[in-house]
Structure 1
Amino acid sequence: MSSNKITRNKKDDLFHVIHKVPAGDGPYVRAKHAQLVEKEPEAAIVLFWKAINAGDRVDSALKDMAVVMKQLDRTEEAIEAVKSFRGLCSKQAQESLDNVLIDLYKKCGKVEDQIDLLKRKLRMIYQGEAFNGKPTKTARSHGKKFQVSVKQETSRLLGNLGWAYMQKCNFMAAEVVYKKAQMVDPDANKACNLGLCLMKQCRYREAKSVLEGVTQGRLPGSEDCKSRKRAQDLLVQVESRQQPADEDFGNGLQQLMNQWVPLPSRSKRLPIFEEISSYRDQMAC
């Protein structure tokens, strides 16, 4: 092999590494080139379609095409594509296609579909069918690979389900799910969501206790600046909403008592107000 050819091959290898484009000349490779190098998403979608029809890396082509469609606000089309063509994909790809669908449902506000799919994925975990029967799976985020355990995935899915219930204003269901998620694998982000859920139910004391777990560094992820800042902001809201409510309750109760006991010289109150008065501070809290 000539030195020029060796140099050219090295340059090609370096190009693929830098741009994260696979080697080859099929429709899938051309689609990735259009997506990542030429920055032409519409052309990339056309080529991804060709790759799927040609049977060229169908698993990756369908997932990548759905992601590009989502970026172009063609979310409904992406959902239909995944549903229609996932049957052409391998068994190993189905779990990641579910995750793509969940993101698409979230993007276009299909909360009920999101809830149904999250429940189905959780049911698969409980039945031992997740991760293709393995205890861990390899996930990717921001170009980096890492291992995810069944426990971590269960907590993540429960967290997503809790947030979906929050969008439906079903705060009681969201609370149950968030608490279960924290029992499985606690973290600061879900604690903030649980705190917000309790605030929506006007249960400020409980919300404060949960959020302080983040600000005091008692939970994994508490060191994250965003989670800590969010917890601090929510605690400010808790304080601003809790104090006026306590004050209003106390003032209202006093006015009611004054109506029943208008004269200072009167020595005896009705028994019910004697009982309420003794627990007034506790009730106001």
Structure 2
Amino acid sequence: MDKKEEEQFHVFYKVPSGDGPYVRAKHAQLIMKDPEGSIIWFWKAINERDRVDSALKDMAVVMKQLDRSEEAIEAIKSFRYLCSKQAQESLDNVLLDLFKKCGKVEEQIVLLKQKLRQIYEGKLFNGRPIKIARSHGKKIQVTITQETARVLGNLGWAYMQKGNFMAAEVVYKKAQMIYSDSNKACNLAQCLIKQARYDEARYILEDVWRGKYLGSDDTKTKNRVEELLLELDSKQPPPFLQNIPGLDLDDDFVNGLDHLINEWARPKSRRLPIFEEISTFRDQLAC
């Protein structure tokens, strides 16, 4: 690339200047739109110890985009020892995404528990209470409390994928005690529905609908609450049909209802009964 193009590339993509294999990999990835070619340069950067922290992470992300997630997992496992201590947390986050992509639930659970242990031992965020992260291209502050709740939420979701809804419930409740939000509330409600604890699930969903949790006003959250309530209604009779003594929806009762509905559905005169009576009376007067 010429000098002006090189300057624009470094400024816009925040890539260090130079002509090493890592810079060439980023140029292939971002400018040339050649992901396969960028992987070749990323490998070269790793082998030559050129910005290994970034090279390994960026290569894994590109591999995931190319549906080479298994290969990316092996690359991180094999070469993360070359990376600095500060890079390990971000590599774990990339690994979690790769495990999700491959459906490796057990591996997710092990890694998430490991992250919780690091939080407990004060090793996450490199010992600081707050870290700077990026969300949708913007820099945000993440507290250790928020991160703990996020990790617990991910652990709860992993347990749900395994069908261990009791474990997921415990984890989600702990996460909500630390830092509650509408997404984890909906997941907790789903756990309770799976355990046929419908009243508890409905209570939580109604709280989300009333805006009692962070993120309750989000359109996606509203849609999800509606979906879960519909699922609840399909599994639990409406309140006005519950706890009625002697109500047993057996075959005879259902057949009787069908017969009644069919009677209602029969075509009748468009005139209401009162008009039928008036019409007859008028005919008598005409005589």
Report the alpha carbon displacement of residue 217 of structure 1 after superposing the two structures with TM: 0.6
Aligned to 1:119: 113
Aligned to 1:189: 183
Matched, 1:33 2:27: yes
Question: Does the 8 A contact of 1:19 with 1:37 survive in 2?
Answer: no
Tell me which of 78, 91, 95 is aligned to 1:84.
78
Question: Does the 8 A contact of 1:162 with 1:174 survive in 2?
Answer: yes
Measure the CA separation in 2 of the matches of 1:250 and 1:77: 60
Aligned to 2:257: none
What is the letter of the counterpart of residue 131 of structure 1?
F
SS of residue paired to 1:243: coil
Measure the CA separation in 1 of the matches of 2:248 and 2:206: 32
Query: Structure 1 residues 196, 147: CA separation in 2 closer, same or farther (over 3 Å shift)?
Result: same
Measure the CA separation in 1 of the matches of 2:161 and 2:246: 34
SS of residue paired to 1:138: strand
Aligned pair count reads 249
Question: Does the 8 A contact of 1:159 with 1:181 survive in 2?
Answer: yes
Report the alpha carbon displacement of residue 245 of structure 1 after superposing the two structures with TM: 10
The Cα offsets for residues 249-279 of structure 1, whole Å up to 9 and x where unpaired, read as 86887589xxxxxxxxxxxxxxxxxxxxxxx
Query: Structure 1 residues 48, 15: CA separation in 2 closer, same or farther (over 3 Å shift)?
Result: closer
Aligned to 1:208: 202
Aligned to 1:46: 40
Report the alpha carbon displacement of residue 17 of structure 1 after superposing the two structures with TM: 3.6
Aligned to 1:280: none
Note the 1:10-29 alignment, pairs <5 A.
12-29=6-23
Question: Does the 8 A contact of 1:188 with 1:214 survive in 2?
Answer: yes
Report the alpha carbon displacement of residue 225 of structure 1 after superposing the two structures with TM: 1.3
Measure the CA separation in 2 of the matches of 1:249 and 1:50: 71
What is the letter of the counterpart of residue 125 of structure 1?
I
Query: Structure 1 residues 26, 252: CA separation in 2 closer, same or farther (over 3 Å shift)?
Result: farther
Measure the CA separation in 2 of the matches of 1:255 and 1:82: 58
Matched, 1:145 2:139: yes
- Unmatched tracts of structure 1, length 5 or more: 1-7, 257-285
Measure the CA separation in 2 of the matches of 1:251 and 1:84: 66
Tell me which of 67, 74, 95 is aligned to 1:101.
95
SS of residue paired to 2:236: helix
The Cα offsets for residues 44-103 of structure 1, whole Å up to 9 and x where unpaired, read as 111100111111110010000011111111111111100110000000001111111111
Report the alpha carbon displacement of residue 124 of structure 1 after superposing the two structures with TM: 1.0
Question: Does the 8 A contact of 1:21 with 1:33 survive in 2?
Answer: no
Matched, 1:55 2:49: yes
Question: Does the 8 A contact of 1:79 with 1:104 survive in 2?
Answer: yes
Report the alpha carbon displacement of residue 128 of structure 1 after superposing the two structures with TM: 1.4
What is the letter of the counterpart of residue 221 of structure 1?
G
Report the alpha carbon displacement of residue 142 of structure 1 after superposing the two structures with TM: 3.0
Report the alpha carbon displacement of residue 23 of structure 1 after superposing the two structures with TM: 2.9
Aligned to 1:222: 216
The share of aligned pairs that are identical, in percent, is 67
TM-score (norm 2): 0.80
TM-score (norm 1): 0.81
Matched, 1:236 2:230: yes
What is the letter of the counterpart of residue 167 of structure 2?
A
SS of residue paired to 2:212: coil
- Unmatched tracts of structure 2, length 5 or more: 251-287
Larger radius of gyration: 2
Question: Does the 8 A contact of 1:69 with 1:75 survive in 2?
Answer: yes
Aligned to 1:273: none
Query: Structure 1 residues 249, 47: CA separation in 2 closer, same or farther (over 3 Å shift)?
Result: farther
Matched, 1:70 2:92: no
Measure the CA separation in 1 of the matches of 2:232 and 2:249: 26
Structure 1, 144-153 or 245-254: larger mean CA deviation? 245-254
Measure the CA separation in 2 of the matches of 1:107 and 1:165: 16
Structure 1, 34-43 or 244-253: larger mean CA deviation? 244-253
Query: Structure 1 residues 236, 255: CA separation in 2 closer, same or farther (over 3 Å shift)?
Result: closer
Aligned to 2:271: none
**CA RMSD in angstroms, aligned pairs only:** 2.3
What is the letter of the counterpart of residue 133 of structure 1?
G
